[in-house]
Amino acid sequence: MPPLALEKTDRTVVVPNTEKMHEAKWDVGVFKVNNYRNWEWSAGYGWHNKDWYADISRTTL
């Protein structure tokens, strides 16, 4: 098993490598899925120059 397949993630998919090239070391393909959300949405409202405004933004944590 490739060392990459043993790393801790939210989900790991290991599939047979059906299109293996001559220089490939492994007979499997490893796909990692991380469901960590490193962003957030925020919304607010304010008052400027006698006018209301709404602010919606997406920020990276």
pLDDT in tens, 36-59: 777 788 899 888 898 998 988 888
d(Cα 52, Cα 45) in Å, to the nearest integer? 7
* Residue 1 scores a pLDDT above 70: no
> In the structure encoding, which two tokens stand for residue 12, read together?
């790991």
For residue 28, give Cα distances in angstroms to 10, 31, 39: 19, 10, 32
pLDDT the model gives residue 5: 67
Helix, strand, coil % over all residues of the chain, rounded to 5: 5, 50, 40
